């Protein structure tokens, strides 16, 4: 049974067209159904009441419209909401909805768990279970639309490294951006990566103006190696070179860790990296739920760090902390509700660029 939600919109519509032809149904029925996959999503074929009952039954027998099961929903005092979705095999993934004036940003997951083991990340501590399919990635957005939340912006900053799941992320980006699917502007979609070079190259090769955020978190290889083991494979110099070659402006993501990476001298080193590739620096306060033994930088240290970067002519901003009163650190709700995955059943990620 074909899962229509795992296909690019044009391919899904093509399959629906063949089905309608074989069923002696009018051609426009395929477009009707296709519009209910993403643009105006229906929870099931039965809810497509614009179709004859018999046709809805035949569609349900031929195709699937799977759902992500909502296991938990938390709402912060600041309006941030966090959702824990259960997948068909029992894995759990998280999605965060962040309202800000007339925008609603969804932070979506691309993997169940993460293999990168960044020292300060709750998701990395739980280990890697598996890649998500394109449907499971974009299905997070679909489920929130069914709940009445219509996003304006998407960030791949939830659980997992999206560019180590490029085959699915590639299709997901198309579904998010396609005017016949979710129709979210490319400049409102950001892919965050630790610096997976083949994935950056693949993203850069796409014609759309998707945004790229690089997780830097340390201004030297020595410190970055301690915080982010992936630096062995993709050292800072290579990541900066990739940022230079990316046509669109990139953002540096930098989690401030008290006494670890927040000195004025380190701010100067970070500014030098940012100037080399024209990057914007986005500083991120450490969320207490994901601290893993680290402490947040003080207000004084944060202000001095920002001033040192600005002094060197680099644009910098401090991300507002959201969802402090709920389990909003990436991976935290998943661990609280479902526990950590059984490491004895871990599998290695082999889907880099669909490999």
CATH of the domain at 24: 1.10.150.530
Q: Which tokens in the block code for residue 327?
A: 């389990």
Assess if residue 271 is contained within a domain: yes
C-alpha separations of 146 from 35, 95, 104, 150, 176 in Å: 14, 14, 15, 9, 15
| 217 and 78 together in one domain | yes
The reported pLDDT for the residue numbered 289 is 61
| 37 and 176 together in one domain | no
Determine whether 107 is an active site residue: no
Assess if residue 255 is contained within a domain: yes
C-alpha count within 13 angstroms, C-beta hemisphere, residue 252: 33
Q: Which of 74-78, 300-304, 348-352 has the weakest average pLDDT?
A: 348-352
Assess if residue 354 is contained within a domain: no
Name the catalytic one among 13, 94, 136, 143.
Answer: 94
Q: Is the dihedral of CA 239, 306, 212, 346 positive or negative?
A: positive
Determine whether 315 is an active site residue: no
| 8 and 110 together in one domain | no
- Domain holding 50, by residue range, is 2-64
Asked if residues 107 and 98 have their Cβ atoms less than 8 Å apart, the reply is: yes
Domain final residue, candidates 18, 45, 64: 64
CATH code: domain of residue 334: 3.20.20.70
Q: Which residue has the higher pLDDT, 77 or 182?
A: 182
Q: Which residues is 283 bridged to in the sheet? A: 254, 318
What domain count does the chain have?
Answer: 2
Domain final residue, candidates 34, 64, 94: 64
Assess if residue 315 is contained within a domain: yes
Assess if residue 212 is contained within a domain: yes
Assess if residue 79 is contained within a domain: yes
The reported pLDDT for the residue numbered 119 is 85
| 35 and 163 together in one domain | no
The pTM of this model reads 0.90
CA-to-CA distance for 276 and 265, rounded, in angstroms?
A: 17
The reported pLDDT for the residue numbered 127 is 86
Residue 280 makes CB contacts below 8 A (sequence gap 6+) with: 249, 250, 251, 252, 274, 314, 315, 316, 317
For 40-60, the pLDDT digits (tens) are: 999 999 999 999 999 999 999
| 49 and 87 together in one domain | no
| 21 and 96 together in one domain | no
**Ramachandran quadrant class, 313 (left: phi over 0; alpha: psi -120 to 50; beta: rest):** left
Of all residues in the chain, what percent carry a pLDDT higher than 70?
Answer: 89
Assess if residue 355 is contained within a domain: no
Residue 212 has pLDDT above 90, yes or no: yes
As a whole number, mean pLDDT of residues 116-125 equals 82
3-state secondary structure at position 188: helix
CA-to-CA distance for 345 and 53, rounded, in angstroms?
A: 44
C-alpha separations of 174 from 158, 208, 290, 295 in Å: 19, 9, 31, 39
Direct distance between the N- and C-terminal alpha carbons of the chain, in angstroms, rounded to an integer: 25
| 118 and 254 together in one domain | yes
CA-to-CA distance for 273 and 276, rounded, in angstroms?
A: 5
Assess if residue 348 is contained within a domain: no
């Amino acid at each position: 049974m074909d899962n229509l939600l795992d296909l690019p919109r044009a391919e899904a519509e093509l399959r629906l067209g063949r089905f309608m032809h074989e069923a002696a149904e009018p051609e426009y029925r395929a477009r009707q159904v296709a519009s209910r996959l993403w643009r105006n999503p229906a929870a099931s074929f039965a809810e497509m009441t614009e179709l004859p009952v018999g046709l809805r039954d035949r569609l349900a027998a031929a195709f699937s419209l799977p759902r992500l099961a909502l296991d938990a929903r938390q709402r912060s005092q600041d309006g941030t909401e966090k959702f824990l979705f259960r997948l068909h095999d029992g894995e759990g993934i998280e999605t965060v909805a962040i309202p800000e004036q007339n925008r609603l940003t969804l932070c979506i997951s691309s993997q169940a768990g993460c293999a990168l083991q960044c020292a300060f990340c709750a998701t990395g501590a739980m280990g890697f279970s598996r890649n998500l399919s394109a449907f499971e990635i974009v299905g997070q957005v679909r489920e929130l639309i069914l709940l009445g939340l219509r996003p304006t912006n998407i960030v791949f900053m939830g659980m997992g490294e999206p560019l180590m799941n490029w085959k699915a992320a590639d299709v997901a980006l198309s579904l998010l951006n396609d005017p016949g699917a979710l129709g979210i502007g490319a400049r409102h979609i950001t892919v965050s990566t630790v610096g997976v070079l083949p994935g950056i190259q693949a993203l850069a090769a796409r014609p759309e103006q998707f945004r790229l955020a690089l997780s830097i978190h340390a201004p030297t290889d020595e410190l970055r190696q301690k915080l982010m083991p992936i630096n062995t494979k993709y050292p800072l110099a290579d990541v900066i070179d990739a940022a230079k070659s990316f046509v669109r402006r990139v953002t540096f993501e930098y989690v401030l860790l008290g006494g670890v990476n927040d000195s004025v001298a380190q701010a100067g080193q970070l500014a030098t990296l940012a100037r080399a590739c024209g990057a914007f620096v986005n500083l991120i306060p450490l969320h207490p739920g994901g601290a893993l033994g680290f402490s947040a930088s003080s207000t004084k240290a944060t202000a001095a760090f920002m001033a040192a970067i600005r002094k060197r002519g680099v644009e910098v901003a401090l991300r507002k902390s959201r969802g402090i009163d709920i389990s909003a650190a990436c991976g935290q709700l998943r661990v609280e509700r479902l526990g950590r995955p059984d490491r004895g059943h871990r599998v290695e990620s082999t889907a880099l660029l669909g490999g």
